[in-house]
């Protein structure tokens, strides 16, 4: 992930030696045994809490579990109530912040000690350092996951947190506030409550203008998390009016900003065609020549992923990609990019063959898409192979009377040989697709079976539609209805099919189906 869920507060000036840590831990162990939450010696109490905080701020392996086992948590939580001693509140909040920065079990220990309501109370402290430390602690707790996030939200964290966003706030404090907002927007299983999103969006619309890079990056990541929560949240982000200010960040000089912005707008175009059009109306495609030639491969990959969702849109949106001159650049990535980028390019091309008009698909062929497309038929990733086969089949179908010309191109670039080999593939969908393509477009040279015995071809290929925002394209298992239908035609037909297919080595698993 691009963003820290939890952060420890480790002061640079306090690099403790191992001997100091050991001595302090022994001291804390002794103090915990003798102290209780109602100690009336503030000097001793502050000393113990400060020693614990120093232990937890050590660079190497802070003894979080040992301190939890020592029973110090209730003492630290009780110290948060001491409005008469802000130094003690600050040290206790700091120690608890670092405990909550650990594992989920350690974070839960802080939550179960009833610290969260007291941290929320400290957001109203007149002492800024106490407020800031409470914000940091809450950020670590919220970052533990959706359950903790929603618990803290239910106690009313959002309003006081957003109140800190004002011109007078120190930059370090605002960075922490923005980081906590990111954690509030995080996770989509379940996503944050809609009411919370509505509260946060106006603040993000303000923070997106900020000149501090850390704050800007966090703001854009927050938007990317919100747009990863389904079409309803995408619409809320669109309705906030932030998209026209988000799109120009694709050309920001800082790669961190570009990366976050590309993810955010990429998530938006996984939505409906209407939501996609909002992004296109902001001249988003003008940024993509630079993104597709960016020196960082990860940006190339996400740029092609973005475009694969545009080519899954309507024909006007497909035309926008063509008019922007991006098809040759996608094909270049299909041929020369890293495999992850090639995979996204395969989706972009295949989606266009489904969504596009005949002339748009013809344009693909004119740009010499078939050779690099066919090259991917020999990769080990079954999903990519199936995407390419579907794309090739769609191109052949769309070509109509010109299908023989397309078939020649496929054969000349070595594609036919690869398709023939795929008839031996272990994936049923793949070997069936390969069989259908050869039967329908290459049977004159290679196949002499009775056409009535061949499974009926599906029309138009498999429509993949829009890609998931994390590139987890689904690969469902599809029952081969055509084969089952043939099996039911009678025993004699089964014997004939089996004899023919065994002779030709096609991988239709009749024995299993029976």
Return the SS3 of 296: coil
Geometric angle at alpha carbon 238, from 236 and 240, rounded to 5°: 70
At 66 the pLDDT is 87
Measuring CA to CA, how many Å separate 80 from each of 86, 101, 105? Answer: 9, 18, 21
Contact 464, 343 (CB under 8 A): no
Measuring CA to CA, how many Å separate 383 from each of 216, 344, 352, 379? Answer: 37, 11, 17, 10
Which residue has tokens 């793949």?
430
- 374-387: pLDDT as tens digits: 999 999 999 999 99
Which residue has tokens 């579907």?
390
3-state SS of 183-211 is HHHCCCCCCCCHHHHHHHHHHHHHHCCCC
Q: Quote helix, strand, coil % in the chain, to nearest 5.
A: 70, 0, 30
Return the SS3 of 348: helix
Measuring CA to CA, how many Å separate 86 from each of 82, 92, 137, 149, 474? Answer: 7, 10, 16, 27, 54
What burial class does residue 160 get, using C-beta atoms within 10 Å of its C-beta: 0-12 exposed, 13-18 middle, 19+ buried? middle
- 37-85: pLDDT as tens digits: 446 778 878 888 888 888 888 767 788 898 899 888 999 999 999 999 9
Give the separation between CA 320 and CA 453, rounded to whole angstroms: 43
The token duo for 506 is 């096609």
At 20 the pLDDT is 55
What is 439-498 written as a DSSP string? HHHSHHHH--S-GGGSPPPPSS-----SPPTTS---------HHHHHHHTT-HHHHHHHH
Contact 115, 75 (CB under 8 A): no
List the domains of the chain with CATH numbers. 1-156 (1.25.10.10)
At 183 the pLDDT is 97
What burial class does residue 458 get, using C-beta atoms within 10 Å of its C-beta: 0-12 exposed, 13-18 middle, 19+ buried? middle
Measuring CA to CA, how many Å separate 26 from each of 72, 95, 345, 477? Answer: 13, 17, 60, 60
Q: How far apart are the first and last CA of the chain?
A: 47
* Per-residue buried b or exposed e for 389-421, using 16+ beta carbons within 10 Å of the residue's own CB: bbbbbbbbbbbeeeeeebbebbbebebbebbbe
Determine if the peptide bond prior to 342 is cis (ω within 30°): no
CA nearest neighbour of 495 among 477, 511, 474, 479 = 511
CA nearest neighbour of 49 among 16, 82, 7, 8 = 82
Give the separation between CA 11 and CA 179, rounded to whole angstroms: 19
* Per-residue buried b or exposed e for 207-228, using 16+ beta carbons within 10 Å of the residue's own CB: bbebeeeebbbbbbbbbbbbbb
Contact 376, 335 (CB under 8 A): no
* Total count of residues recorded for the chain: 514
Give the separation between CA 320 and CA 324, rounded to whole angstroms: 6
The token duo for 222 is 């927050």
* Helices and strands (H, E) in the chain, number of each type: 32, 0
Element (H, E) at 89: helix 86-100
Spatial CB neighbours of 91, under 8 Å, sequence gap ≥ 6: 46, 49, 50, 53, 79
Give the separation between CA 62 and CA 98, rounded to whole angstroms: 9
Which residue has tokens 């946060």?
200
171-185 and 146-154 helices, crossing angle to 10°: 110
CA 139 to chain centre: 21
pLDDT in tens, the chain (514 residues): 455 677 777 665 554 455 555 555 565 566 565 455 446 778 878 888 888 888 888 767 788 898 899 888 999 999 999 999 999 999 999 999 999 999 999 999 999 999 999 999 999 999 999 999 999 999 999 999 999 999 999 999 999 999 999 999 999 999 999 999 999 999 999 999 999 999 999 999 999 999 999 999 999 999 999 999 899 999 999 999 999 999 999 999 999 999 999 999 999 999 999 999 999 999 999 999 999 999 999 999 999 999 999 999 999 999 999 999 999 999 999 999 999 999 999 999 999 999 999 999 999 999 999 999 999 999 999 999 999 999 999 999 999 999 999 999 999 999 999 999 999 999 999 999 999 999 999 986 444 444 443 444 333 333 445 544 333 333 333 334 444 444 444 444 444 444 433 333 322 232 333 2
pTM attached to this predicted model? 0.82
At 493 the pLDDT is 45
């Amino acid at each position: 992930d691009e963003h820290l869920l939890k952060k420890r507060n480790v002061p640079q000036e306090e690099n403790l030696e191992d001997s100091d840590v050991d001595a302090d831990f022994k001291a804390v162990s002794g103090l915990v045994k003798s102290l209780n939450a109602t100690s009336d010696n503030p000097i001793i109490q502050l000393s113990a809490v400060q020693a614990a905080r120093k232990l937890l701020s050590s660079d190497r392996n802070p003894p979080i579990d040992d301190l939890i086992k020592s029973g110090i948590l209730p003492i630290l939580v009780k110290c948060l109530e001491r409005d008469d001693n802000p130094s003690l509140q600050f040290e206790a909040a700091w120690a608890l912040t670092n405990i909550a920065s650990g594992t989920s079990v350690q974070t839960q220990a802080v939550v179960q000690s009833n610290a969260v309501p007291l941290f929320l109370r400290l957001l109203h402290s007149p002492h800024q350092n106490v407020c800031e430390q409470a914000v940091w602690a809450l950020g670590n707790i919220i970052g533990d996951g959706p359950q903790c996030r929603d618990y803290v939200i239910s106690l009313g964290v959002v309003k006081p947190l957003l109140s800190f966003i004002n011109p007078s706030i120190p930059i370090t404090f605002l960075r922490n506030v923005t980081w906590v907002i990111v954690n509030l927007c995080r996770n989509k299983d379940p996503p944050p409550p809609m009411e919370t999103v509505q509260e946060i969006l106006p603040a993000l619309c303000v923070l997106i203008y900020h000149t501090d890079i850390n704050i800007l990056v966090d703001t854009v990541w927050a938007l990317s998390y919100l747009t990863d929560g389904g079409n309803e949240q995408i619409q809320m982000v669109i309705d906030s009016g932030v998209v026209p200010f988000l799109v120009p960040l694709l050309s920001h000089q800082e790669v961190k900003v570009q990366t976050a912005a590309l993810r955010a707008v990429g998530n938006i175009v996984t939505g409906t065609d209407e939501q996609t059009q909002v992004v296109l109306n902001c001249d988003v495609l003008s940024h993509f020549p630079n993104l597709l030639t960016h020196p960082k491969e990860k940006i190339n990959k996400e740029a092609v992923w973005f475009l694969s969702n545009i080519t899954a849109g309507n024909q006007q949106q497909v035309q926008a990609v063509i008019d922007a001159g991006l098809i040759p650049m996608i094909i270049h990535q299909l041929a020369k990019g890293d495999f992850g980028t090639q995979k996204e390019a395969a989706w972009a091309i295949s989606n266009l063959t489904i969504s596009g008009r005949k002339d748009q698909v013809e344009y693909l062929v004119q740009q010499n898409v078939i050779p690099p497309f066919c090259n991917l038929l020999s990769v080990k990733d079954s999903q990519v192979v199936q995407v390419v086969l579907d794309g090739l089949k769609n191109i052949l179908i769309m070509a109509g009377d010109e299908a023989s010309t397309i078939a020649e191109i496929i054969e000349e670039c070595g594609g036919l040989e690869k398709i023939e080999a795929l008839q031996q593939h272990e994936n049923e969908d793949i070997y069936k697709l390969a069989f259908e393509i050869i039967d329908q477009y290459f049977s004159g040279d290679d196949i002499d079976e009775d056409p009535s015995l061949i499974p009926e071809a599906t029309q138009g290929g498999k429509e993949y539609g829009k890609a998931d925002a994390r590139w987890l394209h689904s690969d469902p298992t599809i029952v081969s209805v055509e084969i089952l239908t043939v099996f039911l035609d009678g025993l004699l037909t089964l014997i004939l099919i089996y004899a023919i297919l065994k002779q030709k080595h096609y991988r239709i698993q009749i024995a299993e189906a029976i």
